Amino acid sequence: MARIVVLGSVARDEVIHLDHRLREGAHLQGTPPVARLGGGGANTAIALSHAGHEVSLVAAVGTDPLADEMLAELSRHGVDIGPVTRISGPSTHSLVLLDPEGERTIINLTRARESRPPRRLLDLDADCVYVRSSGPNLAELLRSKAALCPIVAQFHPLAEGHLPAQVLVGSHGDLDARILADPLGEGRRLAGDVLRWVVITHGAEGAEAFGVEGQRLRATAPDVKVVDTTGAGDAFAAGLAHALALRLDMAQALPLAVRWGAAKVTRMGSFLDRESVREILRESTGRSSPSRP
């Protein structure tokens, strides 16, 4: 398999199951909070580790006992926590409100953030880097790393040239009308000349990819029962990074990533469990294998 570096967050999620959907002014009933590991970086790194990759996580945690618990859990899932740094203060802690239809609302209570760019990223060998961070001044680091391996980065409406990456990924629901009207133009403004693809996810409708050479690809999502949408975008990104690290082209990578995202929403939790990832990989191998008489 491949060496993949993930730049993102680690969080303790407190999940509350609601009896109805959120609506303004409502009085809802909820279950007592249940704690689980979360954070975009952790969710993606764990799924990739379950796929058999050598995964290093560049992240920040606090100096509280919660940090020790989260790092131990990441290690149990096979993620290299050597590049995780400790920041004085509390670790990232969030409330996740989960409605009966599986839709989640996240409320950040505390955040552990680095005040300077994580230059240790340059010291890590990688076949692919996934960036799930809007941290400060990443442009110089990513530009250097993009010369060595593919970078997949979450699409944020940041300053021009702030996010040099070959692939930008964003959710249709998170992007403003300007970006949706001209994905490639806005992508070039953020990523510069290294950009090759802009990928936009559409939830239950799948995803589409826009290439700088005029390509436009679409992958539809399977019809599944939604249980928990938490981490669906992270699972999609893990599938995309998995495919690109193995040097698959976008026509192969996009439908694979959609399957990873669709599998996640059928399971409770913030990330894809090991058996789910292995099932996806078995299905993918079977589809790519020649049929036998």
The domain total for the chain is 1
Q: Within a 13 Å sphere around the CA of 58, how many CA atoms are in the beta-carbon half? A: 24
Q: What pLDDT, on a 0 to 100 scale, did the predictor assign at position 285?
A: 75
In a domain, 292, yes or no: no
Burial of 132 (0-12, 13-18, 19+ CB in 10 A): buried
Domain CATH code at residue 68: 3.40.1190.20
* Identity at 181, one-letter amino acid code: A
Q: Beta strand pairing status for 197-201 and 54-58? A: unpaired
In a domain, 102, yes or no: yes
How many helices, marked H, and strands, marked E, lie in the chain? Answer: 8, 14
In a domain, 293, yes or no: no
In a domain, 39, yes or no: yes
pLDDT tens, residue order, the chain (293 aa): 899 999 999 999 999 999 999 988 889 999 999 999 999 999 999 999 999 999 999 999 999 999 999 999 999 999 999 999 999 999 999 999 999 999 999 999 999 999 899 999 999 999 999 999 866 678 899 999 999 999 999 986 555 558 899 999 999 988 989 899 999 999 999 899 999 999 999 999 999 999 999 999 999 999 999 999 999 999 999 999 999 999 999 999 999 999 999 999 999 999 999 999 999 999 887 654 333 22
Q: Report residue 210 as tokens.
A: 């826009």
In a domain, 245, yes or no: yes
Residue 233 lies in domain = 3-20+30-282
